[in-house]
Amino acid sequence: MSANETALVNVTGEPLLINPNKTFADVNAEVAAPIERKPGRLWWIFFTISVLLTLQFAAEITYQIIKGVGIWGLNHPVGWAVDITSFVFWIGIGHAGTLISAILHLFRQRWRTAINRSAEAMTIFAVMTAGLFPLIHTGRPWFAYWLVPYPNWRYLWVNFRSPLVWDVFAVSTYMTISICFWYTGLIPDFASLRDRSTGWRRGIYGVLSLGWRGSERHWQHYERAYMMLAGLSTPLVLSVHSIVSFDFATSILPGWHTTIFPPYFVAGAIFSGFAMVVTLLVILRKVFKMEEYITMHHLENMNKIILVTGMMVGYAYATEFFIALYSGNPFERFVFLNRAGGPFAWSYWIMVSCNVISPQVFWFKRFRRSLVVMFIVSLLVNVGMWFERFTIIVTSLHRDFLPTNWSYYKPTIFDFSVIIGSFGFFFMWFLLFCRFFPTISMAEVKQVLWNSKKAAGKVPATKAEKIHA
């Protein structure tokens, strides 16, 4: 670990969020640097790969629309598999962003300032990716807009009792509010970029900043509005994954019909989301040399959250298993025994080992602060959380009420194509974001910086003082 990664502490020994020796100008300069210089080779490599993956994804979708969704391994009774699994997975990923920016903001967790911008971006791109799956999983995607209640000559609305319609509202609301929240945060930084750039960049950032001047009168409204959006996003993020879990919880299928799902899904979402944030930041701070802003302190905090939520998820697994056995409902009982011991046991145990066991290493400070360990664990957690949804969906479906229907699910190359495709799609957007948007909220960091300076007793002698001396 380099010197600037060793935590700086204030007089009372609490770690400083940022090196107090920096000046306000440094912040602008360093945050804007990646945007102003040409992208490096690493960026181009990542970007090219992402674009290629996205293209094959597009090809898969085209072919699927021509031939039919049957090119996937789905069957009767397994009507959903990779499609909805990935949908829930990506929605879950999104949640960490909102949690970091909204909830931590409400709880005055200052350390969020370095990471909330990229976390919010991650939210938006994750939700975009997630949104693709409900569209393409339908048999007739060109009619998917029928899920939206719009006036039409059939005088036919939608079924507001269907969790899929709830999803439509939840996800679109989530998307909209996340964008509002994100953009609000960006306005002052666009202004900063405008004021340090020239030419067409200045024009673009000028427009994006909406002509922000940093007037105190504006800051006054701005801060309250930002607080309000944070206040709205917090219950929203909880509701969204609860509603996603309703897709299963409100059905009658054993293994789906479970009251524990809403909290269980939310915890899982935060869990996977934070893992994804860690994955991204470990790369980002390296590629864009942000070590001084995204410090080990930030990463450690997130690893702590991963440990906590990981154990919540583990608790949920244990609870639903116990209740299934305890309930005496033969269908429930069978489903869970079938999960752990049936033909899909492998996926169940991948889930358990990745989500419950692997985060346990974060009990140790050494591992919490080791880039390598946290990177591996965060990847494992993401794998595990994907398989959690897969386990819930497929193992419940493939052996349900009537044994005659029992079957197995075998994915085709197209199932794999959509999985990797979705990752390509997500990273494509994220890389573009890193390239053109400030990945760290300059305005907020300056606040933190000033506090650090004070805490470290490093308020510099000002020019004014010299004059008056």
Quickly count: other Cβ atoms within 10 Å of residue 47's Cβ: 18
Comparing CB distances to other proteins, the nearer of 266 and 374 is 266
Contact residues for 269 (Cβ-Cβ < 8 A; gap 6+): 91, 92, 93, 94, 95, 96, 241
Per rule CB under 8 A, is residue 149 in the interface with other proteins? Answer: yes
Using CB under 8 A, which of 11, 12, 38, 155 touches other proteins?
155
Crossing angle of the two packed helices 261-287 and 413-436, in degrees rounded to 10 = 60
Comparing CB distances to other proteins, the nearer of 7 and 210 is 210
Give the pair of three-digit tokens for residue 187: 């306005």
> Which 433-462 residues touch other proteins, going by CB under 8 A?
442-444, 446-447, 450, 459-460, 462
Hey, what amino acid is at 131? G
Using CB under 8 A, which of 147, 371, 373, 379 touches other proteins?
147
Per rule CB under 8 A, is residue 33 in the interface with other proteins? Answer: no
> Which 198-217 residues touch other proteins, going by CB under 8 A?
198-200, 202-203, 206-207, 210-217
> Which 34-63 residues touch other proteins, going by CB under 8 A?
55-63
Give the pair of three-digit tokens for residue 459: 């308020």
User: CA 90 to CA 93: how far, in whole Å?
Assistant: 5
CB burial string 84-109: b at 16+ within 10 A, e below: bbbbbbbbbbbbbbbbbbbbbbeeee
> Which 317-346 residues touch other proteins, going by CB under 8 A?
330-331, 334, 343
Comparing CB distances to other proteins, the nearer of 109 and 220 is 220
The conformation of residue 353, written as its DSSP 8-state character, comes to: I
Interface region with other proteins, contact rule CB under 8 A, candidates 4-12, 132-140, 297-305, 379-387:
132-140
Which residues partner with 15 through β-bridges? 9
Using CB under 8 A, which of 102, 305, 392, 397 touches other proteins?
397
User: CA 364 to CA 156: how far, in whole Å?
Assistant: 58
Q: How far is CA 3 from the centre of its chain?
A: 30
Using CB under 8 A, which of 11, 160, 457, 469 touches other proteins?
160
Using CB under 8 A, which of 144, 337, 373, 432 touches other proteins?
144
Interface region with other proteins, contact rule CB under 8 A, candidates 116-124, 347-355, 374-382, 394-402:
394-402
3-state secondary structure (DSSP) of residue 407: coil
Q: Least Å distance between CB 342 and other proteins?
A: 9
Per rule CB under 8 A, is residue 194 in the interface with other proteins? Answer: yes
> Which 342-381 residues touch other proteins, going by CB under 8 A?
343
Q: Least Å distance between CB 415 and other proteins?
A: 12
Per rule CB under 8 A, is residue 401 in the interface with other proteins? Answer: yes
> Which 269-328 residues touch other proteins, going by CB under 8 A?
none
3-state secondary structure (DSSP) of residue 15: strand
Using CB under 8 A, which of 15, 73, 263, 411 touches other proteins?
73
Using CB under 8 A, which of 43, 169, 315, 349 touches other proteins?
169
User: CA 208 to CA 300: how far, in whole Å?
Assistant: 34
Per rule CB under 8 A, is residue 19 in the interface with other proteins? Answer: no
- Interface with other proteins (CB under 8 A), residue total 142
Per rule CB under 8 A, is residue 182 in the interface with other proteins? Answer: no
User: CA 418 to CA 425: how far, in whole Å?
Assistant: 10
Per rule CB under 8 A, is residue 21 in the interface with other proteins? Answer: no
Quickly count: other Cβ atoms within 10 Å of residue 441's Cβ: 26
Using CB under 8 A, which of 17, 28, 98, 440 touches other proteins?
28
Angle formed at CA 418 by CA 410 and CA 276, multiple of 5 degrees: 110
Per rule CB under 8 A, is residue 416 in the interface with other proteins? Answer: no
Per rule CB under 8 A, is residue 259 in the interface with other proteins? Answer: no
Comparing CB distances to other proteins, the nearer of 177 and 276 is 177
Q: Least Å distance between CB 385 and other proteins?
A: 21
Asked whether the beta carbons of 262 and 269 are under 8 A apart, the reply is no
Give the pair of three-digit tokens for residue 107: 């709880």
Give the pair of three-digit tokens for residue 328: 């005496």
Comparing CB distances to other proteins, the nearer of 121 and 229 is 229
> Which 212-241 residues touch other proteins, going by CB under 8 A?
212-225, 227-229, 231-233, 235-236, 239
Dihedral sign for Cα atoms in the order 275, 305, 122, 146: positive
Interface region with other proteins, contact rule CB under 8 A, candidates 23-31, 124-132, 279-287, 289-297:
23-31
At which residue do the structure tokens 């494992």 appear?
A: 380
User: CA 428 to CA 424: how far, in whole Å?
Assistant: 6
Q: Least Å distance between CB 129 and other proteins?
A: 15
Angle formed at CA 355 by CA 15 and CA 232, multiple of 5 degrees: 65
